């Protein structure tokens, strides 16, 4: 029997990361959350703009991600900026930890989404871009846009 592909629903995307950093590698991780965090994310909250990942001990942790408090929650509601554990293969974590020790390399969250009922995070191993790289990327994007416009006018 063939399995039906699971539906992916975006929660938060870090679009700025693709401009600020050169993406070397991507990794899909699970995120350990409490019930009120999941309910808040289903309601459309959450931000990963200022977040980053780090290895502590043998685990991978998401730091500075913001999930707002659940409005219908009670006194046991979660803390919005708490650190959250990421679930990944032990060998992957060790490999990424070695790579992140290199100067200028960091682990940046790119996309937070639901895959079926699970919350997943796309994590990127990134190197910071220089100012001239950013200018070149902007120029390239504008040139492509102009070519597309010219082609659509020609038709």
For residue 4, name the pLDDT band (cuts at 50, 70, 90): low
Query: 87 versus 79: which is more confidently predicted?
Result: 87
Q: Is residue 139 included in any domain, yes or no?
A: no
Looking at the 3D structure of the chain, how many domains does it have?
1
Q: Is residue 150 included in any domain, yes or no?
A: no
Query: Is 5 a residue whose pLDDT tops 80?
Result: no
Q: Is residue 23 included in any domain, yes or no?
A: yes
Q: What is the CATH number of the domain that holds 15?
A: 2.40.280.10
The two three-digit tokens of residue 19, written as one number: 């401009």
Q: What pLDDT, on the 0 to 100 scale, is given for residue 109?
A: 92
Residue numbers of the domain that contains 27: 9-129
- Facing residues of 61 across strands? 54, 85
Q: Is residue 134 included in any domain, yes or no?
A: no
Its pTM stands at 0.75
From residue 77, alpha-carbon distances to 12, 47, 61, 66, 130 in Å are 21, 18, 20, 14, 41
Torsion of CA 23, 137, 51, 25, to 10 degrees: -10
What's the CA angle centered on 24, arms 14 and 138, to 5 degrees? Answer: 60
């Amino acid at each position: 029997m063939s399995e039906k592909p699971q539906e992916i629903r975006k929660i938060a995307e870090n679009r700025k990361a693709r401009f600020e950093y050169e993406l070397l590698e991507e990794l899909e991780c699970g995120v350990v959350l409490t019930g009120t965090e999941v309910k808040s994310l289903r309601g459309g909250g959450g931000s990963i703009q200022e977040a980053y990942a780090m290895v502590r001990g043998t685990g991978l942790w998401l730091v500075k991600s913001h999930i707002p408090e659940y409005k219908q929650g009670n006194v046991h509601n979660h803390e919005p900026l708490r650190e959250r554990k990421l679930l990944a293969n032990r060998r992957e974590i060790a490999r990424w930890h070695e790579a992140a020790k290199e100067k200028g390399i960091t682990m940046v969250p790119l996309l937070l989404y639901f895959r079926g009922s699970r919350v997943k995070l796309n994590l990127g191993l990134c190197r910071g871009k220089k100012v001239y790289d950013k200018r070149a990327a902007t120029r390239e994007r504008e040139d492509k846009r102009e070519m597309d416009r010219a082609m659509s006018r020609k038709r």
